[in-house]
Amino acid sequence: MKHWSSVWLLACYSTAAQAKFKIGIAAWTGYPENVGGFKQGLSDSGLVDGENLEVVIRASGGDANTQNEIARDFSSFDLVYSLTTVGTQIVKDVVPENLPVVFSIVTYPADVGLIESMAFSSNNLLGTSNFVPLEKYVEIVQNILPHTKRIAIFHRKDEVNSTIQAFNMKRLFDAVGIEVIDLTPTTIDEMKEMASEVSNSVDVFMTTTDTLCQSGGEDAIIPISISSNTPILSSNLAGIKKGYAFGPVANFYNLGYEAGKMASKILQTSVRPSHLESSYQEIPDYFVNRNTMKKMGFDINETQQHSLSIQFNSSTESGSGNVTRI
């Protein structure tokens, strides 16, 4: 009798040890830094890919139809991790309402209708926002380029996320006497054309956190920015390293890490997403590409550096030179 009891206990233990959660990552266009942070957050919470967790990563390349297919394929998983506003809107519409969805790199999750509020989602969604308090953009412009009079803001036409951001930025810049030129391209070529047209009549280019700007649009206007001495204000750190000039940045790795902790809690405690709070990085990091600024004839003096707590670190990416963490 003892023998069979021992066998039964061993079998139960073996089954428990082999039990795995399955997470589908709908990465939209990739965002490897964020995905890496997410997986590390899971691992630090006891869920390790290949051990008690299976992670499937798929990227749609920004294609809505492909994202629909990915969401359908993930509908039988234990949890879906979805990146970007557009990508997460598709996932939300496709997966069952009882399937937990953790999101990240969504700037305005409540305003676009993904959740009711950051404190209470009221549904199966929860996540981390890459929202940067908008006054931080104004703060860094006034600190680094105090003589700015006109700024061109690029945001993808009809993308809700960045339309809200551009509208609110215009209000804040207007309040400090900086005129805003609102530009709404739909393609990278249109964005380049618009940048060329206004480059000699504005002091700064600002790019928003949408899928056009952060999927090639910003990169495409770097040569125009350099040749016209018009710095690019962006919250995309990878872009600042490539040659954009400066900006307040939400750390994608940290956002992914926090999202991983959220996902782990949902899976390991069976808590509903609506019982947890979404979050964002309240105090952004400030970065300046010193080489880019010097090419344009701008320099960061000690007063400016200390005012924004700038720290310098080197980067090996082409054209990045010294990128300053403020």
Asked if residues 43 and 263 have their Cβ atoms less than 8 Å apart, the reply is no
| 243 and 256 together in one domain | no
Asked if residues 227 and 252 have their Cβ atoms less than 8 Å apart, the reply is no
| 258 and 225 together in one domain | no
Q: Pick the closest to residue 102 from 211, 23, 20 (CA basis).
A: 23
| 38 and 93 together in one domain | yes
Check: pTM over 0.85? Answer yes or no.
no
| 123 and 139 together in one domain | no
pLDDT of the residue at 315: 39
Numbers of helices and strands, H then E, in the chain:
13, 14
Query: Which residues partner with 314 through β-bridges?
Result: 322
| 156 and 297 together in one domain | yes
| 274 and 289 together in one domain | no
Q: Pick the closest to residue 217 from 253, 248, 234, 192 (CA basis).
A: 192
Q: How far apart are CA 68 and CA 95, in angstroms?
A: 9
CATH number at residue 292: 3.40.50.2300
Question: CA angle, corner 287, sides to 285 and 288, nearest 5?
Answer: 165
Helices (H), 112-244: 135-144, 160-175, 188-198, 217-220, 222-228, 237-242
Q: Is 209 helix (H, G, I), strand (E, B) or coil?
A: coil
| 17 and 159 together in one domain | no
Asked if residues 60 and 26 have their Cβ atoms less than 8 Å apart, the reply is yes
pLDDT of the residue at 302: 60
| 162 and 188 together in one domain | yes
| 85 and 178 together in one domain | no
Domain that residue 302 falls in:
135-249+284-325
pLDDT of the residue at 323: 67
How many domains would you assign to the chain?
Answer: 2
Question: CA angle, corner 202, sides to 201 and 204, nearest 5?
Answer: 155
Q: How far apart are CA 88 and CA 95, in angstroms?
A: 10
| 68 and 203 together in one domain | no
Number of neighbours of residue 172 by Cβ within 10 angstroms: 15
Any residues with CB less than 8 A from the CB of 201 and at least 6 apart, and which?
Answer: 150, 181
| 261 and 291 together in one domain | no
- Beta strands 232-233 and 150-154: pairing type? unpaired
Query: What are the average pLDDT values for consecutive 10-residue runs of the chain, which has 326 residues?
Result: 44 49 97 97 97 97 97 99 97 98 95 96 97 92 94 92 91 98 96 97 94 88 96 90 90 95 98 97 86 88 60 40 61
Token pair of 123 as six digits: 């549904």
pLDDT of the residue at 138: 96
| 158 and 294 together in one domain | yes
